[in-house]
Amino acid sequence: MHGGRADLADLGVHAPPIDLSTTYPLPDQAAGGAALGELAEGAIEAASPVYARVRNPTVARFETALAELEHAESAVAFGSGMAAVTAVIQAACVLSGRSHVVAVRPLYGGTDHLLSTGLLGTTVSYVDASEVADAITPETGLVVIETPANPNLDLIDIAAVVCAAGDVPVLVDNTFATPVLQNPADAGVAYVLHSGTKYLGGHGDVLGGVVACAEGLAGPLRQVRILTGAVLHPLGGYLLHRGLATLPLRVRAAQETAAVLAARLVEHPAIAAVRYPGLPGADPHGLLGTQMRGPGAMLAFETLADPNVVVGKLSLITPAVSLGSVDTLIEHPAALTHRLVASADRQACGVPENLLRLSVGLEDLDDLWTDLDDALTAAS
């Protein structure tokens, strides 16, 4: 609620100002040059922002608030979640010359595809969470995990992976859990990443990404952002900052509904299996209540009927990719978000063809249940 707003009272305003300047007057050009030099080397701020690709005060407010929420020293925002993933790989692997990545599947399809194609000059070893230590070589620059995982809600013991990674920095994609339910930095994670497009923005109207980390790692991320231009627009920074104020309320309300829906779906005759961290057997390592403060508002289920037919029968729930919005969204990972992951690889990491992913929103519980129940019954 208050992060990134400490100076508002002194400014005499209540809402954070949106600074749309692309450039800033530099009457003393030598002093401007000194500021540019500091920022180009990764400094968090300087006497002038100089230019909008270098620093933006509105985006910086969001970064300050998000860093506090993630128990990190700093945060660096990007134009999308994928731009944030890219920047971490560039900082941890390309700049360091250690171009090998160890990753645990399943991951968000875009991250999986970026690593699999080696677009950034990296190579990847996909391993089970228990095999991370064995997969690390002197060339390894980064370990990448997601928990709960997209799209099947697998939980990974973050502290165990940090321990297995040793000196190699670990990136946790915390998009599904949000800082409301989980703070990976507390377990020694180097990079905590969010697609801000999802829960942080929360209303389906802003694309952005952010990485929370120690200040020593934030500097290189800012250098990468300046050089690649992967900046977040100030309006996006404003919306993400505003989203944080209601984040706990939204997450808790959606989580409450998701828990009931998951329990009801388990009993539904048209469903083969439900994936939700709060269900019996879904948390074999006992991470709920310790690593994660709640089971969250994302769930997935395997349908006995054709998943595309089920989606087509829904009337209230929006059939769309993305998640974490105020309204409930459903999508078919094999057809959409995880389309670019080879079918055999999807099967191997627990993403079957008949899996549907549900991002539970803030609608009335019974309205959602009626829609799901009617569609599942009609499709069978």
Q: How many residues does the chain have?
A: 380
Q: Residue 49 or residue 81: which is nearer to ligand PLP going by CB?
A: 81
Q: Residue 112 or residue 371: which is nearer to ligand PLP going by CB?
A: 112
CA–CA gap between residue 350 and residue 152 (Å, rounded) = 7
Among positions 59-88, residues that touch ligand PLP (CB under 6 A) are: 80-82
> Which residue is nearest to ligand PLP, using beta carbons?
81
Residue with tokens 């309300």: 253
Told to check if 178 binds ligand PLP by CB under 6 A, we report no
| Binding-site member from 4, 49, 141, 209 for ligand PLP (CB under 6 A) | 209
Q: How far is the CB of 207 from ligand PLP (least distance, A)?
A: 5
Q: How far is the CB of 373 from ligand PLP (least distance, A)?
A: 27
Residues annotated as part of the active site:
53, 108, 173, 198
Q: Residue 194's closest CA among 67, 102, 10?
A: 67
CA–CA gap between residue 322 and residue 329 (Å, rounded) = 7
Told to check if 357 binds ligand PLP by CB under 6 A, we report no
| Binding-site member from 39, 48, 50, 108 for ligand PLP (CB under 6 A) | 108
Beta bridge partners of 275: 300
Q: Residue 99 or residue 325: which is nearer to ligand PLP going by CB?
A: 325
Number of residues lying near ligand PLP (CB under 6 A): 15
The alpha carbons of the chain give a radius of gyration, in whole angstroms, of: 21
Q: How far is the CB of 193 from ligand PLP (least distance, A)?
A: 7
Q: How far is the CB of 172 from ligand PLP (least distance, A)?
A: 10
| Binding-site member from 63, 70, 157, 173 for ligand PLP (CB under 6 A) | 173
Q: How far is the CB of 229 from ligand PLP (least distance, A)?
A: 15
Phi, psi of 122 (to 5 degrees): -100, 160
Phi, psi of 102 (to 5 degrees): -105, 125
DSSP sequence for 94-159: ITTT--EEEEESS--HHHHHHHHHTTTS-EEEEE-GGGHHHH--TTEEEEEEESSPTTT-----HH
Among positions 243-302, residues that touch ligand PLP (CB under 6 A) are: none
Q: Residue 39's closest CA among 238, 222, 211?
A: 222
Binding site for ligand PLP (CB under 6 A): 80-82, 108, 110-111, 146, 150, 173, 175, 195, 197-198, 207, 209
